[in-house]
Amino acid sequence: MVIPSLAVYSLYSLLTNWNEQQSLDEYLDFISTYREIKEPLQNPDLYTFHPTIHESLQETIEHVAQITLYRNDGYVVYETTSDTIGTRQAELRDLYDGLFEGNMTYRYFTIKEPVFVNEEIVGFYEVSMQRDDRVEYVQSRSTSILVLSTAVFFLTGLLVWIQINRRINKPIKYLKNDMNQFVLHPKKMTTLAHPKNDEIGDLIKHFNYMKQEVIHAREEILREQKEKEMMTAALSHDLKTPLTSVMAYTESMQQRALTKSETDHYLTIIRNKSIQMQRLIEDIHTFTLLKNQQSVEQKVTVNGQEFFEMLVDGYDELASQHGINLQKEVKTFDSFDVQVNHMMRLVDNLVSNAIRYTPSTGKLYIGIYDQQLPSWLYKPIDVNFSTHGVLIVQNDGATISEQESKKIFEAFYQSEESRTKKAGQHSGLGLSVAKMITENHGGDIQFIPVPNKGTILMSTFVKRKDYDEKNVDE
């Protein structure tokens, strides 16, 4: 690659130097000749329409240069290359443009000057001289340069082809074969090696990485497909019972004459079933948004004590309806950056789950802390209060096994008890949604079964950093 490049550069430098020297020599010759013919052109009579006056020019100047004479109004009064006189008129601005400036083109040297009489312009002359030596040299050398350039570029192309074939074509051929094998056997993972750390090596490394990503993506697609099938089956199953009840009570109201108390009772059932279906649909919608990371709700800074007191308020009546003894406690001193609607959904999902499995006359505890854990916990839990606050929901009642507790946050997972005794009342997404909301707030969620006592659900969330730094400074 270096030798052909140097050859082309040397040829270019040689031509450039010769062109500059040749142009200088030609320009000096032109100036010398121009001075010889300039004097006769100063005759003001030449710039009139008298052909006989111009005969002297034909004898003395035409063999040396081409001349065009213009009258002061732009009409051509004489031109060596044409017999037509007085029929062509040049624009005055073109005549005045470039006066006294020598112009050198590929074939000609040209100069244009005015002629004065008593300080008034009577005409213009334009002298053009052919660059015969230049044209002859270029024409004679064109073939040689073309042959030499062709040889240089052929040699360059040959060397480039050899390098490309050795460094690019062969590795790409191996890469292509490996790609074909991967298409035919997608589950068979092979790693293609390349000894050099060049662009092809980077390409092969990226291809190996891409194969791993493709295998992972296929596994993820299969998992999501299975999840969608489960979602469809779960939604159909959980909507069927309340929808059947709504249809049955609606038909009864249409076909039977009911008393006012019966009508009110039926309407209450229809409303409750409608609310139940609405909640199922909301669970599906929230789960889909969080799963696809499409939730655009912005986090806002809240005072922990005021915000969480508001969140836990309103469950007393619901607990009372189920005969549950509810105890609430909020002890926070920090601020938090939260997505308000999602945090409300988190608390509601955890509390609703606890109420569902707390027996009548049982106890339900809701607590939010950022300094110290409460004394009523069934067992100690680990919380890093220097960076996180914690939401704790603890309820009396039957527990599940340790093995089953590891699956409790999976989408659509429901224990056998929930499916048989409380079928259709919830979607199996509540705790899965709670897990995603917790993780979006920089925390962790745990389901802790305590045999012979009950269950602890804890969700942590990050404290506001600048608030913590301010407390440290103080």
- Per-residue model confidence as pLDDT tens digits over 330-380: 999 889 999 888 888 889 889 988 998 899 999 999 999 999 999 999 999
Tokens at 232, concatenated: 């469809």
In this structure, are 345 and 420 located in the same domain? Answer: yes
- Would residue 342 count as lying in a domain? yes
Higher pLDDT, 118 or 232: 118
Return the pLDDT at 137: 65
Query: What confidence score (pLDDT) does residue 469 get?
Result: 47
Whether residue 141 is contained in a domain is answered as no
Give me the phi and psi of 366, to 5 degrees please. Answer: -125, 120
**Residue 45: which CATH number?**
3.30.450.20
Q: At which of 83, 106, 136 does a domain end?
A: 136
Contact 460, 435 (CB under 8 A): no
Number of domains making up the chain: 3
211 plus 352 within the same structural domain: no
368 lies in some domain: yes
Q: Let me know whether 67 and 96 are in one domain.
A: yes
Spatial separation of the C-alpha atoms in residues 61 and 41, rounded to whole Å: 10
Within a domain: 460: yes
The answer to whether 459 touches 443, Cβ cutoff 8 Å, is yes
Distance between CA 18 and CA 221 in Å, rounded?
70
**441 lies in the same domain as 351:** yes
- The arithmetic mean of pLDDT across residues 233-240, rounded, is 68
Is residue 441 domain-shared with residue 336, that is, in the same domain?
Answer: yes
Q: How confident is the model at residue 242 (pLDDT cuts 50, 70, 90)?
A: confident
Residue 367: inside a domain, yes or no? yes
Going from the C-alpha of 109 to that of each of 65, 126, 449, the distances in angstroms are 10, 11, 103
Q: What is the pLDDT of residue 470?
A: 47
> Can you say whether residue 55 is alpha, beta or left, with left for phi > 0 and alpha for psi between -120 and 50 degrees?
alpha
Question: Helix 260-291 vs helix 430-440: angle between axes, to the nearest 10 degrees?
Answer: 40
pLDDT band at 387 (very low <50, low <70, confident <90, very high): very high
Task: Give 3's pLDDT tier (boundaries 50, 70, 90).
Answer: low
Q: What is the CATH number of the domain that holds 458?
A: 3.30.565.10
How many residues make up the chain in this entry? 474
Residue 392's pLDDT band (boundaries 50, 70, 90)?
very high
Round to whole Å and give the CA distance between 136 and 134.
6
Nearest to 390 by CA among 314, 434, 452, 445: 445
Pair of tokens at residue 295: 């939730």
The token pair at 40 is 């006769």
Among candidate residues 253, 286, 319, the one where a domain is terminated: 286
Tell me the CATH number at 216. 1.10.287.130
The residue segments making up the domain with residue 263 are 199-286
3-state DSSP call for residue 186? coil
DSSP 253-281: HHHS---HHHHHHHHHHHHHHHHHHHHHH
pLDDT digits (tens, 9 = 90+) for 265-317: 888 888 888 877 877 777 777 777 776 665 567 889 999 899 999 988 888 88
CA neighbours closer than 13 Å in the CB half-sphere of residue 377: 17
Residue 110 Cα distances to 30, 72, 80, 98, 105, angstroms? 9, 19, 14, 10, 8
Do the Cβ atoms of 30 and 109 come closer than 8 Å?
A: yes
Least confident of 26-40, 53-67, 68-82: 53-67
Lowest mean pLDDT among 30-39, 84-93, 184-193, 202-211: 184-193
Burial level of 67, CB count in 10 A (0-12/13-18/19+)? buried
CB 443 within 8 A of CB 462: yes
Please indicate, yes or no, whether residues 375 and 465 belong to a single structural domain of this protein. yes
331 shares its domain with 381 = yes
- Indicate whether 337 and 265 sit together in one domain: no
pLDDT value for 145: 72
Phi, psi of 461 (to 5 degrees): -150, 145
User: pLDDT value at position 468?
Assistant: 47
Per the model's pLDDT, the better-predicted residue between 457 and 134 turns out to be 457
Q: What angle do CA 129, 133, 137 make, to 5 degrees?
A: 140
Residue 38 domain flag: yes
Boundary residue ending a domain (254, 286, 318): 286
Residues 207 and 88 in one domain: no
Torsion sign over Cα 155, 157, 162, 167:
positive
Token pair, residue 65, equals 């240069």
Judgement on whether residues 379 and 461 belong to the same structural domain of the protein: yes
Distances (CA, A) of 211 to 4, 187, 224: 41, 10, 20
Q: Are 433 and 286 in contact (CB under 8 A)?
A: yes
**Is the separation of the CB atoms in 127 and 110 below 8 Å?**
yes
In terms of phi and psi (left: phi > 0; alpha: psi -120 to 50; beta: otherwise), the region of 308 is alpha
Same domain, residue pair 329 and 453: yes
| pTM of the predicted model over 0.85 | no
Beta bridge partners of 204: none
Mean pLDDT of the chain: 78
Does 147 map to a domain? no
Whether residue 41 is contained in a domain is answered as: yes
304 and 248 both lie in a single domain? no
**282 three-class SS:** helix
Confidence of residue 473 (pLDDT cuts 50, 70, 90): very low
